[in-house]
Structure 1
Amino acid sequence: MTTLLPPALRTARELVEPTLRSAVARLDADTRRVGEYHFGWIGVDGAPTDAGGKALRPAMVLAATETACGTAEHGVPAAAAVELVHNFSLLHDDVMDGDTSRRHRPTAWTVFGSSAAILAGDALLAVAPEVLLESDVPNAAVAVRSLLTTTRVLIAGQTADLGFERRQDVDLTECLGMAHDKTAALLACACSIGPLSAGAPRESVRALHAYGTELGMAFQLVDDLLGLWGDPEVTGKPVLSDLRTRKKSVPVVHALTSGTAAGERLWELYEQPEQLTEAQLCEAAEMVRRAGSEDWTRGECRRRLELAEAQLEVGSLGDTAALGELAEFIVRRKL
C-alpha cells in the first residue's frame, strides 16, 4: 500500500525546485547533466522526466521556518542548500556502497561513471553555501557555518559506517553515534537552519535543532528496518539488502552484541567468507528477530519520537501541525 504523502512535501517541491534548478544550472555542461539526472529532472537520453525525490528535508526546513517565523518562504534558500548537501551525500554514498538503483532508476554512477558522479556530488556541495550567501536572509553567514559544520559531521558518520565494515568490535553506542552523525545531524540542521537564517529567536532554533536530532534518529532506525525487511517495490532495493552487504546497522549490531544464541549465529553468518545464499540471508534476518533486535529498534524509534515531540513544547513555537505530519510520514513510510 502506498503511503499518503503529506501536502508539505508537494509544497516544498514547488517552492524549492526553481532554486535547486538554478543552482545546478551553474555547473559545467557535463556535471550539470549528471546532477539533473540524479535529481530526476532528465533521463539517460537527456529528455525531461519527473522522477525526483520526496523533498523531505526541504519540507522540514519550510515547516520549521513557518513554525518559528510565521512564513515558509523565508526558508527557501536554506531548504535548497540542505537539499544540495543531502544529494551530494547520496551521489557519494551510491558509489561507496555500490548501489545500482535509487528511486527505481539506475544510480548516476552506473550511467555516467564513478568519477563523474563523485565530481557532481562535489559540485552540489560547493554551490550549497552560494545559494545561502546570495540570498537576502538576514543571518546567511551564520546559516552557512551551521551547514558546513553539519556536513563535516555527516562525513564523519559515513566514514564510521565504512569503518564498521572492517571491524568486529562495533558496539551499540558507537553504532548509534554513527547513525546520529550520518543521518540525524542533517535532519537537525534541516529543522533549524531556516529559522536560524531568518532570524528566529535563539530558543526556537535550539528547540527545533533538538527536535530534528531526535526525529533524525527515528528516521535512521526506520531506514535500518527497511534495509532488512523493506518492500523492494517501494524501497527500490532488494529485500534483505543490508544483510547482503553485511552492513552493521543498528538492529544488526544490537543482535550481534546481544549475548544470545541468535546473535552468535548471526556472527557466524557475517564472518563467513563466501557470499551469503538466499537461505542464509533469510536465516540472518530471523536471527535479528530472535535476538529481540527488531522489537528493540521499533521501541527505540518510538522513544526518539516522544523525545522529539517534547522539544516542541519548550521552544515558544507557533503551529507545529506540519512538522507533526512530516514526522508521522517519516516513521510510517514504506513499513
Structure 2
Amino acid sequence: MTAAPERLTTGTPAPVVEILAWSRGIVAPALRAAVDPLPAPLRHIAGYHLGWWDAGGRPETASGGKAVRPAFALLGGAAVSDVVTDAVPAAVAVELVHNFSLLHDDVMDRDVTRRHRPTAWTVFGESPAVLAGDSLLAAAFLAIGGTYAAGAAGRLAGAVQELLAGQYADLDFEARSDVDLAAVEAMAEGKTAALFGAACGLGALCAGGDGATVDALTAFGRRAGLAFQIVDDLLGIWGDPAVTGKPAHTDLRSRKKSFPVVAALRSGTPAGADLAALHDRCAPLGEPELVEAAELVEAAGGRRWCEEYADRLLADARSALAAAGVAAEAGDRLWTLARFLGGRDH
C-alpha cells in the first residue's frame, strides 16, 4: 500500500511476504493517485493514517497495514486473466473502503494506537478523522467507477452496506448480555467477511471473470475473511503488543463481545460463569482483572473453539476455491494467503 516495506514479523512465511510485496508494488501508485485529489486537509489525515507521512506532513516509512485485501483483488483478477492490471481499480477500491472503516472504527472504539502509531483521531480530532474516512469512501467509488465491469459499483456498495450493518451490530452488542455465537458470526460476516469476499469477486469481475467464477471466489474470500476475524479476535486478547501494534487485552478492556469471549460465556462451564460475573462489573477492569478474564476465556474453551472453527472455515474456503476452477498459480497464492490469515500471529 505504501512505498515502504511492510513490517511483518520474522515468522511470516516467505511466500506471504512475496505475495504482499508484489501486490503493494502494483497497487501503491494507483492508491496514491486515488488519494491525491482529496481536499488538502483530508488528504493530510488520510496520508498519515496510511503511513505515508507523519502528523506534520513529513515523509515517513510507517506501516500502512498488511494490505491483504488488495492482494486478494489482484489475485482474483489473475485467477481469470493474464492482464492482472485490470483488477487494480478493485484492489484500490477495497483498500480505500477498508481504511475508511478503520478511521471510523478507531473513533467509535476509542482506540488510541494503530499500526504502532497514535490513531488519526487522537492526533487530528474525532470529526476531522471521520471526515477523512468519508473522503476515502467517496474515492473508493470513484476508483471502481473507472472500470467497465458491469455491476462492480453495485457489488462494492453491497459490501459497504454489509460492513456498516456489521459495525452497528458490534456497537449494539456492547450494551447487551444476550449475544450468542450466531449473532457474533452474523456481525463478523458483515463487518469483515463481506469486504474480503468483495475483494476476490471484484478482482475477478474487473478482469472479465464469468458469474459462476466470480461467485465462487467471493465465497472463498468470505470464508477466509471470517477466519481472519476469528484470529483477529484471538489476537485482541492474547496478541503481543510489540507485534500487533495495540495494547494487550484490548478487546477485554472494552468488553467486546468477540468470538472467544462469547464462546466462553455460552460454554455452560464454571469458568464461563465467572467470566460473566467479571464482565457484568460496572467498574473498569484493571490489569489483574484483565489477566484473570483472559485466563477464564481460555479455561472455558473460548480459545480452543475459535481455533477449531477457523480451521473449518479454511476448509470451506479451500472447497470454494476448488469450485472456482481458476488458474493454478493464482489459486495457490490465494490459498497461501488464506492459510496465513487463519493462523497468523499479528
TM-score of the aligned structures, taking structure 1 as reference length? 0.97
SS of 2:80 mapped into structure 1:
helix
Q: Does 1:138 align with 2:144?
A: no
Q: Does 1:124 align with 2:136?
A: yes
How far apart are the structure 2 equivalents of 1:119 and 1:159?
18
Counterpart amino acid of residue 190 in structure 2: D
Deviation at 1:138, TM superposition (A): 3.0
How far apart are the structure 2 equivalents of 1:332 and 1:299?
11
Deviation at 1:70, TM superposition (A): 2.9
Deviation by residue 1:280-316 (Cα, 9 ceiling, x = unmatched): 1111111111111111110000000000001111112
Counterpart amino acid of residue 11 in structure 1: W
What is aligned with 1:49?
A: 60
What is aligned with 1:91?
A: 103
What is aligned with 2:4?
A: none
What is aligned with 1:156?
A: 165
Deviation by residue 1:139-178 (Cα, 9 ceiling, x = unmatched): 1x51111001100000000000000000011111001111
Q: Does 1:198 align with 2:207?
A: yes
Counterpart amino acid of residue 318 in structure 2: E
Deviation at 1:85, TM superposition (A): 0.4
Point out where structure 1 has 5 or more consecutive residues left out of the alignment: none
SS of 2:31 mapped into structure 1:
helix
Range 109-118 or range 191-200, more displaced: 191-200
Within the candidate set 184, 194, 201, 2:193 is matched to 184
Deviation by residue 1:242-286 (Cα, 9 ceiling, x = unmatched): 111110001101111111111111111111111112111111111
SS of 2:143 mapped into structure 1:
helix
Q: Does 1:72 align with 2:84?
A: yes
How far apart are the structure 1 equivalents of 2:61 and 2:20?
15
How far apart are the structure 2 equivalents of 1:174 and 1:189?
22
What is aligned with 1:255?
A: 264
Q: Could you say if the C-alpha distance between residues 332 and 130 of structure 1 is closer, same or farther in structure 2, counting changes exceeding 3 Å?
A: same
How far apart are the structure 2 equivalents of 1:277 and 1:231?
18
How far apart are the structure 2 equivalents of 1:180 and 1:309?
18
Within the candidate set 35, 41, 44, 1:33 is matched to 44
Q: Does 1:6 align with 2:32?
A: no
1:198-277 map, 5 Å? 198-277=207-286
How far apart are the structure 1 equivalents of 2:332 and 2:94?
22
Counterpart amino acid of residue 315 in structure 2: E
Deviation at 1:202, TM superposition (A): 1.2
Q: Does 1:329 align with 2:337?
A: no
Within the candidate set 299, 313, 317, 2:322 is matched to 313
TM-score of the aligned structures, taking structure 2 as reference length? 0.94
Range 84-93 or range 21-30, more displaced: 21-30
> 2:55·2:123 contact (CA, 8 Å) conserved in 1?
yes
Within the candidate set 110, 114, 117, 1:102 is matched to 114
SS of 2:232 mapped into structure 1:
helix
> 1:32·1:120 contact (CA, 8 Å) conserved in 2?
yes
Deviation by residue 1:19-55 (Cα, 9 ceiling, x = unmatched): 1111111111111100111111011121111222221
SS of 1:323 mapped into structure 2:
helix
Aligned residue-pair number: 332
Task: State the percentage of identical aligned residues.
Answer: 49
> 1:6·1:326 contact (CA, 8 Å) conserved in 2?
no
Q: Does 1:61 align with 2:73?
A: yes
Deviation at 1:332, TM superposition (A): 2.9
How far apart are the structure 2 equivalents of 1:312 and 1:329?
16
Counterpart amino acid of residue 87 in structure 1: N
What is aligned with 1:81?
A: 93
SS of 2:322 mapped into structure 1:
coil
> 1:6·1:325 contact (CA, 8 Å) conserved in 2?
no
How far apart are the structure 2 equivalents of 1:223 and 1:235?
10
